[in-house]
Amino acid sequence: MNRFLIVFTLLSMLLVSCGGQPSESSLVYGLTLTPSGIDPHVDASSELGIPLTSVYDPLVWLTPEGEFVAGLAEEWEISDDGLTVTFHLRDDVTFHDGTPFNAAAVEFSLDRIADPATRSLKARGMLGPYDRTEIVDDYTVRVHFTEPYAPFLTSLSTVYLAMVSPDAVSQWGAEYQFHQVGTGPFMFDEYVPRDHLTLVRNPDYDWAPDFFDRQGPPELERVTFRFYPDVATRALALQSGEADVMGEVSPQDAVRLDQSPDYALTPVSIPGQPLQFFVNTQRPPLDDVRVRRALIYAVDRQAIVRTVFKEYSLPAYGPLTRPTFGYDPRVEGMYEYDPQRAAALLEEAGWIDADGDGIRQQDGVPLRLETILMGWGYIPEVGQMLQDQLRRVGMDMDSREMTFSNAVSDVADGRYHLAPFVFSSSDPDIIRTTFQSDNIDGGFNWSKFADPQLDAWLDEGRRAIDPEARRAIYGEIQHHLMEQAVILPIRDYVNLNVAGAHVRNLRYDRQGWFPWLYEVSLAEE
């Protein structure tokens, strides 16, 4: 009897799900990696921001054109000394759980990030020299810094500095990542790690910024995120109709899907640092700037991009990508592909192929570069092309693919000449992480480049509140880093997102990673 009941129930459920149901406006979005944690104040992955950007509203929005416009804060003033920023908040916003959004919520959110107990991996760094938040009145806050911090508004526009519901955080504590509550157009519904994450429409949403082409609640009723860590399965999931949108398909698949009228490809350039190989400037022969320059001249970045990344990526020429604030196009002419020049520089530095085996030597030591490779982002493929191209100018390259943790320990021991990495970031201040001399030991200064002038510029760039002055400083920095040839830039990082043609109005924010699902609608089929 019991068994019969179960079968009957299952059957009826099946029937209901087949027919009857009103056509719900629902979207499936393919994510590339299953994040280890998804609390934006705590965790660091870019993937977490793809769903959560729709759960939270920022205090200030950064428009696609790079302007700051009102979000949860209607207006703001930066003090002349750059040490305080005063925000006047909207008074008509409520969190998904009914908690009113006010000055206390801002203070709570920023203090939560700054609290060492939160163990923030990313947000704390983005908050810079934060001191405290002062509540002026219910809808006015003043944020204090210990020194001027230019990237603050950019940081605030990202999901990592999200305004969270104080009630929800106190209720759930460490479990908050599974029960997130913001003020955004979508409400967090459910997160089952490694399986799916679901958002549902916030019917009360009525505070969208003006630059969106709609107001009120979003059109989509439900968005489900599923995980496709294996790149070979992504295009398949899209073509089988399992997913409506897919992040980061392979360039080869992108070419194929781009030719089909059933799919729309959105390549998005990511601000921050390009795919680059850090050049270990402390290890011979790369302590000689001539050898470092020869290395860059010897690499045909156009060919690498054409072969591996296809027409969607641009070759990188400096430490910042094109959409990054402060990008200086002057670096583009600095190292055109020129193998003859590379060979001449190597000869000048005393590297000559005396025994005719195709590899140059000096005092009997062959010119060989030990290279760390990592298994993502087509780094192994790039590595093979580098090997081929460097050999053509008489440099031998020995490569080894390893996990991130092994790479970190090899870097700590100095056992490498070249090591790759990509940092995406909303602000050029990211290059402090990779080039400030403090970060040589245990940090990400994998070029092991120490330069007091550069350190001073990096500090100055972080403090300069005036955008034009800031741009000038970062221009100097980029030029200087390339003159010293401390990195081998390869390509600007581009995410190849593909959506079915029925998905309308899919745009990405200026960070490139995060879709504005609020605007998305689905065409009738």
Partner 1 sequence: MIGGRFSIAGLVGAVVLASIVVGTLLAPWLAPYDPLAMDYQSQFLPPSLTHPFGTDLFGRDVFSRVLFGARTSLSVGVLAALLAALPGLVVGLMSGYYGGWLDHVVMRTTDLVLSFPSLILALGIVAILRPGLVNVTLAVGLAGIPAYVRLVRSSVLTVKQELYIEAAHAIGCRDPRIVLRHVFPNIAASVLVLATMDIAWAILRATSLSFLGLGAQPPTPEWGTMIDEGREFLRLAPWVSLAPSSVMMLAVLSLNLVGDALRDALDPRTGSE
Q: Are 238 and 246 in contact (CB under 8 A)?
A: yes
Beta-carbon contacts of 141 under 8 Å, excluding residues fewer than 6 positions away, are 86, 87, 89, 103, 106, 107, 133, 134, 135
DSSP run (H or E) holding 60: strand 60-62
- How far apart, in whole angstroms, are the C-alpha atoms of residue 76 and residue 167? 26
In terms of CB distance, is 223 or 498 closer to partner 1?
498
Told to check if 409 binds partner 1 by CB under 8 A, we report: no
Residue among 213, 147, 222 nearest 429 (CA): 147
In terms of CB distance, is 169 or 235 closer to partner 1?
235
In terms of CB distance, is 64 or 375 closer to partner 1?
375
- What is the nearest approach in angstroms of partner 1 to the Cβ of residue 236? 8
- What is the nearest approach in angstroms of partner 1 to the Cβ of residue 495? 17
Binding mask 254-283 for partner 1 (x = CB under 8 A): --x---------------------------
Q: Are 362 and 351 in contact (CB under 8 A)?
A: yes
Told to check if 303 binds partner 1 by CB under 8 A, we report: yes
Told to check if 472 binds partner 1 by CB under 8 A, we report: no
Within residues 372-391, the interface with partner 1 by CB under 8 A covers 375, 380-381, 383-385, 387-388
- What is the nearest approach in angstroms of partner 1 to the Cβ of residue 372? 11
- How far apart, in whole angstroms, are the C-alpha atoms of residue 202 and residue 196? 19
In terms of CB distance, is 329 or 375 closer to partner 1?
375
- What is the nearest approach in angstroms of partner 1 to the Cβ of residue 253? 8
DSSP run (H or E) holding 395: none
Told to check if 402 binds partner 1 by CB under 8 A, we report: yes
In terms of CB distance, is 141 or 369 closer to partner 1?
369
- What is the nearest approach in angstroms of partner 1 to the Cβ of residue 386? 10
Please identify which residue in 406, 453, 456, 504 interacts with partner 1, judged by CB under 8 A.
406
Within residues 308-327, the interface with partner 1 by CB under 8 A covers 308
Judged by CB under 8 A, the stretch of 2-10, 130-138, 228-236, 423-431 that binds partner 1 is 228-236
> What three-state secondary structure class fits 391?
helix
- How far apart, in whole angstroms, are the C-alpha atoms of residue 154 and residue 313? 25
User: How many residues sit close enough to partner 1 to count as binding (CB under 8 A)?
Assistant: 24
- What is the nearest approach in angstroms of partner 1 to the Cβ of residue 496? 13
Angle at 42 between CA 96 and CA 320, to 5 degrees: 110
- What is the nearest approach in angstroms of partner 1 to the Cβ of residue 65? 36
Q: Are 434 and 278 in contact (CB under 8 A)?
A: yes
DSSP run (H or E) holding 345: helix 339-348
- What is the nearest approach in angstroms of partner 1 to the Cβ of residue 262? 16
- What is the nearest approach in angstroms of partner 1 to the Cβ of residue 238? 13
- How far apart, in whole angstroms, are the C-alpha atoms of residue 59 and residue 107? 12
Q: Are 30 and 237 in contact (CB under 8 A)?
A: yes
In terms of CB distance, is 144 or 400 closer to partner 1?
400
- What is the nearest approach in angstroms of partner 1 to the Cβ of residue 367? 18
- What is the nearest approach in angstroms of partner 1 to the Cβ of residue 459? 39
Beta-carbon contacts of 152 under 8 Å, excluding residues fewer than 6 positions away, are 85, 127, 128, 143, 145
In terms of CB distance, is 24 or 230 closer to partner 1?
230
- How far apart, in whole angstroms, are the C-alpha atoms of residue 414 and residue 417? 8
Please identify which residue in 214, 400, 471, 507 interacts with partner 1, judged by CB under 8 A.
400
- What is the nearest approach in angstroms of partner 1 to the Cβ of residue 231? 6
Residue among 110, 107, 105 nearest 123 (CA): 110
Please identify which residue in 34, 94, 307, 521 interacts with partner 1, judged by CB under 8 A.
307
In terms of CB distance, is 399 or 521 closer to partner 1?
399
- What is the nearest approach in angstroms of partner 1 to the Cβ of residue 402? 7
Torsion angles phi and psi, residue 265, rounded to 5: -100, 130
Q: Regarding beta strands 275-279 and 487-491, do their DSSP bridges make them parallel or antiparallel, or are they unpaired?
A: antiparallel
Please identify which residue in 399, 433, 439, 505 interacts with partner 1, judged by CB under 8 A.
399
> Which runs of consecutive H residues, i.e. helices, occur in 357-451?
379-392, 404-412, 430-435
Angle at which helix 452-463 crosses helix 467-483, to 10 degrees, equals 160
DSSP for 203-242 reads TT-----TTSS--SS-S-SEEEEEE--SHHHHHHHHHTTS
> Could you tell me the two tokens for 145?
């810094």
In terms of CB distance, is 94 or 250 closer to partner 1?
250
Told to check if 231 binds partner 1 by CB under 8 A, we report: yes
Please identify which residue in 258, 401, 459, 460 interacts with partner 1, judged by CB under 8 A.
401
Within residues 338-377, the interface with partner 1 by CB under 8 A covers 375
- What is the nearest approach in angstroms of partner 1 to the Cβ of residue 228? 13
Q: Per the omega criterion (within 30 degrees of 0), is the bond before 218 cis?
A: no
Binding mask 195-224 for partner 1 (x = CB under 8 A): ------------------------------
In terms of CB distance, is 200 or 303 closer to partner 1?
303
Residue among 164, 19, 36 nearest 99 (CA): 164
> What three-state secondary structure class fits 398?
strand
Catalog residues that contact partner 1 under the rule CB under 8 A: 231-232, 235, 250, 252-253, 256, 303, 306-308, 375, 380-381, 383-385, 387-388, 399-402, 406
